[in-house]
Amino acid sequence: MEYNFRKIEERWQNEWKKNEVYKVNNDSPKPKYYVLDMFPYPSGAGLHVGHPLGYIASDIFARYKRLKGFNVLHPMGYDAFGLPAEQYAIEHGIHPAVSTDQNIKNFRAQLDKIGFCFDWSREVRTSDPHYYKWTQWIFLQLFNSYYNRIEKKADRIENLIKIFTQEGNVNHPIPNSQFQITGSSFTIHDSQFTSADWNSFNEKIQQEILMEYRLAYCGYGEVNWCEALGTVLANDEVINGVSERGGYPVVKKKLRQWYLRITEYADRLLEGLEKIEFSEAMKEMQSNWIGKSFGAEIDFSLTPNLSLRRGDGGEALTLKVYTTRPDTIFGVDFMVIAPEHELISSITTEEQQQAVDDYITYVKSRSDRDRQAEKKITGCFTGAYAINPFDQREIPIWISEYVLAGYGTGAIMAVPCGDERDFKFAKHFNIPITNIIGKHYTGEEANPTKDAVLENSGFLNGMVMRDAIDIVITKLEELGIGKRKVNYKMRDAAFSRQRYWGEPFPIVWDNGIAYPLPENELPLLLPEVKTYSPGPEGEGPLANIPAWTEKKLETNTMPGYAGSSWYFLRYMDPFNEKEFCSRKVSDYWGQVDLYIGGTEHAVGHLLYSRMWTKALHDLGFIGHDEPYKKLVNQGMIQGSSRFVYRLNVNGKYLGEDIVINNVFVSYNIYLNVIRDNNLLQHITVYLIQTGYLSNITLLIKENIAEHFSQLHVDVNMVDGIELDIEAFKKWRNGEYANAEFILEDGSLYHSSSISNYICSTEVEKMSKSKFNTVNPNDLVEKYGADTFRMYEMFLGPVEQSKPWDTKGIEGVHRFLKKLWRLFFDEIKGPIWTSSAPSPLERAGGEATDAELKVLYKTIKKIEEDTERFSFNTGVSAFMIAVNELSDLKCHKKEVLEKLLIILTPYAPHVAEELWHQLGNETTILDAAYPKVEEKYLVESSKNYPVAINGKTRAELNIVLDATQQQVEEIVLANETVQKWLEGKSPKKIIYVKNKMINVVI
């Protein structure tokens, strides 16, 4: 009986489906364990071998936990809203729901072949109204909440209104300290209003103020606006300042946008990192993104003639900057303000007006990324000066794109001797540099030290910078021109898209006031549209529907991360029509115990879903405030591309131009030719001799490589690096059907050629356009799901990125066949033996200590490796076990049965089959994980490496409980050691028990 994986896998997949073995109950006496994969977007390209990597890892872990006695939730679903489906709809007129549905079907068919233990009965799709009803509902909860800074948690907006009515906002200042009511003569001072003020406001003003507090709020923000396409573009769709499609110019445009007030959660998102098991790198990325810093806001007055001017609020103009280094205030040589800064129009001098206008126009065409990434320095002087409050020095005010409006106050004080970017700016524009740190500043580059003693710094002279920070802030506060300030780099999250394929906002606009729809009107269904093109003025497609706009419904839709911010909760209770998830159920499942996904979500999805969880927790809907207890990041699987080389030579024959462009040259021949240009002649002469070409005069270019085009070839037509020429000829509808091939030995290809065509290789991103994608189903078809699963794991650590190479899969397949042969012989059939044989079994006595040692060593290793997600070494441990048991000719049921159980998470189909072959009636999926019997693993001695001066020279077998003295005697008696000692006595003998011995001479 041979290992017929196709039959086995089909049989058990059907059996498991029929018996609903993966259905999970919300109520179990077993401890719970929640394993989750990051929500996949069902792309039209389907799965390639990179996608299932994380799913296989989570599947192994879920199955392992199940064997360990846990009630394991392991669901799967689809993040089904998104830009690609909408783009497809624009181009092909197919409704995104239709194409998405088709994509999901393909996706599912591919997943099913791999044998995952997902509980598909819990599948969710974000685009399903039953699902997005609750996304809209949660949005309304956020809309109807504010962040209570005193209690440090979200609270109902009704409570805030009550507070305003009773005491104004004295204890709850407006988060945006610059806020002023629009279109009203009422001026808010220091972000404050009284209860009398509040009660005197009309509804519109009250709502405008409340909007400043809501966790989901409406404001204005800049988008990538493409006039030619009449639409807003995603960053992805903008390349070098022009649209990806068509290459039209893209500029910044202010549009009404929804936001989530995630900044209020900055501190808790930071603190929460300490409670969760994310990698240090991931935590660092998140905390850098949040970017908490301590410093000061300083108001600089402007030169007298400007200070006389007044701002809109009738107050004297000042320039407010944020700095983390107030200690350097005497080193400020210029100010830099963002090109969007509101002060620009009031302070720019007449002479500079034109230059400033030109500069701002230039900046409008630049993305935030470009603005920070560019190495070239740009900027423009406004003509205005600020006054240093301590020494009255006049400081020129510049505009530069590297200062972003959204961070701090959108203005910085530049200290070129201490900040590299300021330094380069000063050098570039010839601004004189003040040195306040003496010898620490060389004049060659800035020095950001905090440990220098200050010079040229007025009352700070002689002070260490680190200590001066606090003194300056105190002084500023005394003078009333500055204050201590904590700042965050993180900005509020833009939460709307001018698109069709997303959740509609349950919001009605009336007289400029946003009114939430009542809960009983949810879900607000996404309406059908005739075209997916944008509405007027950059609005989304919904603005084109009269029935929609008549109802004054919001025309924006929610972004991709809306549905994915809470999906892990819906899986717990997917059919609940009354709640997004019942509290009882979410209390049972609690946090996701293990979350597996890529690092690309490091700061987007992971921060947003953490914020949603915290808000839902604050409002009492769930009992935990961090969604993911442990996160494992899977690496990317890169593509390994293959290339062929097409000869491209022009010539003349009988006065006619001749082009050779249908001859492919094997890689090493190509390399030889570009090294030695005579070979090109030889090749063409050869082509002539073989009758392929007549005598022609060649026109050879100076750079021989230009005579070749390197073309991607589909990796599925290449075995390792050998091209399947016949398959290649049929490729792309026979585009190369008449091609000729010069093979590795220099011969021309014919039907019985012995030599091969060799391709070159390169590791690139796996993508269709590079023809390096490999479909997992092809491999499952050829080798089986068990082989495929184990091979994906065998490739390397899950966390690491690595190139895909199909070639190696055979080794894993051989392993499974070898495992099979422990149970079955091709001729003899079943060969396992049992100490208490059933009538059908052979007697074979009890397992020997050596056999049991292999078994328990393996159980221990697999358990350790699985627990630490080291699946690649786990697979090798299985290989080693099977190799050793084969060597021992061990076919004992007692040993093999336990081996099958620990193999189940990795290769469930073959394990289940053999388990039943051995006579078991129940499924192996619920077998009990075997316990390690340490008594078979104890060793009494060890082969110690003996090093002389750190270099291993000999090996000695020494009992484990040997003392230092005993070891020294044994070592010194050794011949090799004696030889190296050359009669000298050693300085020291280092003996680390169970590790090594080092003799120092």
Partner RNA sequence: GCCCAGAUGGCGGAACUGGUAGACGCGUCAGACUCAAAAUCUGGUAUUCGCAAGGAUGUGCAGGUUCGAUUCCUGUUCUGGGCACCA
Tell me how far, at minimum, the Cβ of 9 lies from RNA, in Å.
19
CB 337 within 8 A of CB 399: yes
Count the neighbouring beta carbons within 10 Å of the beta carbon of residue 180: 13
Tell me how far, at minimum, the Cβ of 869 lies from RNA, in Å.
11
CB 519 within 8 A of CB 536: no
Tell me how far, at minimum, the Cβ of 360 lies from RNA, in Å.
20
Tell me how far, at minimum, the Cβ of 98 lies from RNA, in Å.
17
> In DSSP terms, which residues pair with 863 in a beta bridge?
none
Minimum CB distance to RNA smaller for 357 or for 420: 420
Minimum CB distance to RNA smaller for 732 or for 768: 768
Minimum CB distance to RNA smaller for 669 or for 881: 881
The whole-angstrom distance between residue 715's C-alpha and the CA centroid of its chain comes to: 26
The whole-angstrom distance between residue 445's C-alpha and the CA centroid of its chain comes to: 35
Write b or e for each residue in 121-139: b if 16 or more Cβ atoms lie within 10 A of its Cβ, otherwise e.
ebbbbbbbeebbbbbbebb
Closest CA to 889 of 938, 936, 844: 844
Minimum CB distance to RNA smaller for 68 or for 489: 489
Q: What are phi and psi of 256, to 5 degrees?
A: -70, 130
Minimum CB distance to RNA smaller for 260 or for 337: 260
Task: Give me the count of residues in the chain.
Answer: 1001
Minimum CB distance to RNA smaller for 508 or for 603: 603
Pair of tokens at residue 332: 């400020």
Q: What is the DSSP letter of 398?
A: E
Minimum CB distance to RNA smaller for 677 or for 801: 801
Tell me how far, at minimum, the Cβ of 807 lies from RNA, in Å.
4
Omega cis (within 30) before 523: yes
CB 144 within 8 A of CB 213: no
Tell me how far, at minimum, the Cβ of 196 lies from RNA, in Å.
38
Three-class HEC string of 664-685: EECHHHHHHHHHCCHHHHHHHH
Pair of tokens at residue 513: 């006031």
Minimum CB distance to RNA smaller for 484 or for 802: 802
The whole-angstrom distance between residue 846's C-alpha and the CA centroid of its chain comes to: 51
DSSP secondary structure, 715-745, as one string: GGGEETTEE-HHHHHHHHHHTTTT-EEE-TT
Tell me how far, at minimum, the Cβ of 398 lies from RNA, in Å.
18
Alpha-carbon gap, residue 62 to 73, rounded angstroms: 8
Tell me how far, at minimum, the Cβ of 954 lies from RNA, in Å.
9
Minimum CB distance to RNA smaller for 384 or for 790: 790
Pair of tokens at residue 821: 């042969």
Tell me how far, at minimum, the Cβ of 723 lies from RNA, in Å.
15
Alpha-carbon gap, residue 526 to 545, rounded angstroms: 11
Count the neighbouring beta carbons within 10 Å of the beta carbon of residue 656: 8
Tell me how far, at minimum, the Cβ of 872 lies from RNA, in Å.
5
Tell me how far, at minimum, the Cβ of 343 lies from RNA, in Å.
22
Q: How far, CA to CA in Å, does 890 sit from each of 457, 818, 852?
A: 83, 12, 10
Which segments of 800-917 does DSSP mark as H helices, in order? Answer: 809-823, 849-867, 871-887, 893-903, 908-917
Minimum CB distance to RNA smaller for 454 or for 490: 490
How would you classify the pairing of strands 145-148 and 153-156?
Answer: antiparallel
Minimum CB distance to RNA smaller for 312 or for 975: 975
Report helix, strand or coil for 610: helix
Minimum CB distance to RNA smaller for 171 or for 883: 883
Alpha-carbon gap, residue 630 to 275, rounded angstroms: 10
Minimum CB distance to RNA smaller for 485 or for 861: 861
CB 434 within 8 A of CB 372: no
DSSP secondary structure, 310-361, as one string: B-TTSPBPEEEEEES-GGGGGG--EEEE-TT-TTHHHH--HHHHHHHHHHHH
Minimum CB distance to RNA smaller for 42 or for 383: 42
Count the neighbouring beta carbons within 10 Å of the beta carbon of residue 295: 18
Minimum CB distance to RNA smaller for 578 or for 984: 984
Tell me how far, at minimum, the Cβ of 497 lies from RNA, in Å.
5
Three-class HEC string of 870-892: CHHHHHHHHHHHHHHHHHCCCCE
Characterise 655 by phi-psi region: left (phi > 0), alpha (psi -120 to 50), beta (else). Answer: left
What angle is formed at CA 525 by the lines to CA 257 and CA 92, rounded to 5 degrees?
80
> In DSSP terms, which residues pair with 486 in a beta bridge?
294
Minimum CB distance to RNA smaller for 448 or for 590: 448
Alpha-carbon gap, residue 483 to 497, rounded angstroms: 37
Tell me how far, at minimum, the Cβ of 634 lies from RNA, in Å.
11
Tell me how far, at minimum, the Cβ of 223 lies from RNA, in Å.
4
Task: Measure the N-to-C terminal CA separation of the chain; round to a whole number of Å.
Answer: 62
Minimum CB distance to RNA smaller for 282 or for 465: 282
Tell me how far, at minimum, the Cβ of 977 lies from RNA, in Å.
11
Minimum CB distance to RNA smaller for 841 or for 864: 864
Tell me how far, at minimum, the Cβ of 699 lies from RNA, in Å.
34
Alpha-carbon gap, residue 523 to 258, rounded angstroms: 19
Tell me how far, at minimum, the Cβ of 34 lies from RNA, in Å.
21
Tell me how far, at minimum, the Cβ of 285 lies from RNA, in Å.
5
Kindly tell me the burial class for residue 119, based on how many C-beta atoms sit within 10 Å of its own C-beta (0-12, 13-18, 19 or more): buried
The dihedral formed by the CA atoms of 849, 851, 854 and 855, expressed in degrees to the nearest 10: -100
